[in-house]
Amino acid sequence: MTAVLFGSISTLADTSEIQRDAFNRAFAEHGLDWTWDQEEYAGLLGSNGGRDRVADYAASRGEQVDADAVHATKSRFYQETLRSTDVQPRAGVVETFRAAKEQGHKVGLVTTTSGENIAALGDALAQVLPFGEFDVVVDQSKVEARKPDAAAYTYALEQLGETADDAVAIEDNLGGVESAKAAGVPVVAFPNGNTVTHDFGDTRRVEALDLADLRA
């Protein structure tokens, strides 16, 4: 193993509930009588992409909604909350990041979220996890297709000069796991608070990160 690839914002810090709250606040601002409780939101996380999630939900209710506008408002709330909240890294994340760097591994953040969302989390975690030390950061502007497409991982491997077999991906959701597998990258599931009930099939699950364990 020569590269460790964190697959989403919530593999670094569990911001899933901040995301859900931001969606609900956006719905209210746009006059929608929607409220996603934790159970419903968890069920919606089987697919990737917040904008598409809003559009699909509207379609399921037979409603016309400007999904782009709602999602933009949600992103604003999410970023504001990240920068005003004491966000903590998940168990073992900082230790795994540091150990990987010290042992000469390349470390990447491979998402298809926006660069603005990544920057907001980077600000929130700056004291414990400087994002400038990632060897590659992939956001939605770097690739044409979102996860579960393999594009984000393929791009990251090309930038790092690594092969899929020499990397390990850490993902917190089903679409992310599918993306890593599509790119041929071995993957470990590290579910967040809202994906912990998801069935990751034969993908190995961990509750905390440890570099030695990722090599298993």
Q: Determine the pLDDT at residue 48.
A: 63
Question: Which of 1.10.274.10, 3.40.50.1000, 3.20.20.70, 3.40.50.300 would CATH assign to domain 3-14+90-214?
Answer: 3.40.50.1000
- 5 forms bridges with which residues in the sheet? 108, 169
Domain residue spans in the chain?
A: 3-14+90-214, 16-84
3-class DSSP state for residue 123?
A: helix
Of residues 143, 216, 214, the one with CA closest to residue 183: 143
Residue 50 pLDDT: 86
Q: In this predicted model, what pLDDT tens digit does every residue of 75-122 receive, in sequence order?
A: 999 999 999 999 999 999 999 999 999 999 999 999 999 999 999 999
**Are 215 and 166 contacting, i.e. CB atoms less than 8 angstroms apart?**
no
Torsions phi, psi for 170 (to 5 deg): -120, 120
Beta strands in the chain (DSSP E): 3-6, 106-110, 136-138, 167-171, 187-189
Q: Which residues of the chain fall short of a pLDDT of 70?
A: 47-48, 216
Write down the pLDDT at residue 84.
92
User: Three-state SS for 205?
Assistant: strand
Angle in degrees, CA 189, 161, 185, rounded to 5: 25
pLDDT for position 43: 87
Tell me what pLDDT residue 100 has: 97
Any residues with CB less than 8 A from the CB of 40 and at least 6 apart, and which?
A: none
Tell which CATH architecture fits domain 16-84: Orthogonal Bundle (1.10)
